[in-house]
Structure 1
Amino acid sequence: MKRAPEHLVNLIEPIVEGLGYECVGIEYHPQPKHGLLRIYIDSANGILVDDCSKVSHQISGVLDVEDPIQGNYQLEVSSPGADRPFFYAHQFEQFIGSAVLVNLYQSIAGRKKITGVIDKVVDDIITLREVGQVFEVPFVAMSKARLVPDYLIEKGGRNGK
């Protein structure tokens, strides 16, 4: 989860929400020559290319005026997709019973990656159930977390057993 700095989140989220979309999260990957600012949007009706274009146009205008990022960067607006990333602990709650792939900053029970089903979320602790094991993972220990579409588990992909 390469989340964007708070000043970018505070600038972008209200614009996305003002256009009627959910701002799932914002990634920022600064690079000396070609940085990347990626904004994930969603809505109850799903996301089409036109939605991404509409949000991109609005965000571009504000970023040009406010100029919060030094140097060159690429702006991407995208739906979260089937392998939706998680940016906040509360986002796990709506996917209880679904599988996630979690990368950790430091190992928990000898593991730096866990693919498991979300059992519950209490405060910022996400309980994951993997075949024969239960992991209580603090959200702050996660470097990256993504939903694992059911078909990947069924077919044995991404650590599916």
Structure 2
Amino acid sequence: MRTWFALGIVLALLASSTHRVQAQPQASYPCSVVLRATMKEIPNAQGVALITKVRKPYAESATSPVRERQSVGIYADWLPSPSVFGEYDRYEGFAQVPGEISWRFTMHPVKENTPSWFGGTPWVGKFDEISQELPLITRVEVRLSNTGTQELGPVVLQNTLQACGSS
């Protein structure tokens, strides 16, 4: 009898401490979101993130089976040189499902034929190896980065995928 009583208490404690994880609403593909500046020092800086599904072959062979992945591509414009903010030498794209997983990828400056006399440079990058569906709480960011230390700096542009919800 004591054994059953003890077992009942253990089961009751486990049941009360178990959290039911509610499924997050998922993004609809393809979608795009505007990335907005987080710093007053760069009022013109904005960007856009394209979130889409891509079908990628496993090998270069024409008969290779394909796998589906999610892709995050970013175009960011009117960005000053990263060194303006300190010990940074590039920008990186960063996508994260808060508290769960994140992905970071290098962004590259775009050489313009006729640069703006006002300043600012466009930067682009993409990452297309995301195997999980992206929930609407996913944050997409452009962040400062130091290639020597591999440390990410502050967020420069950001938004969530809330606008990617199915209508």
Q: Same fold (TM over 0.5)?
A: no
TM class by smaller structure: under 0.3
Provide TM-score, normalisation by structure 2. 0.21
- Greater helix percent: which structure? 1
TM-score between both structures, scaled by the size of structure 1: 0.22
**Higher relative contact order at CA 8 Å, sep ≥6: structure 1 or structure 2?**
2
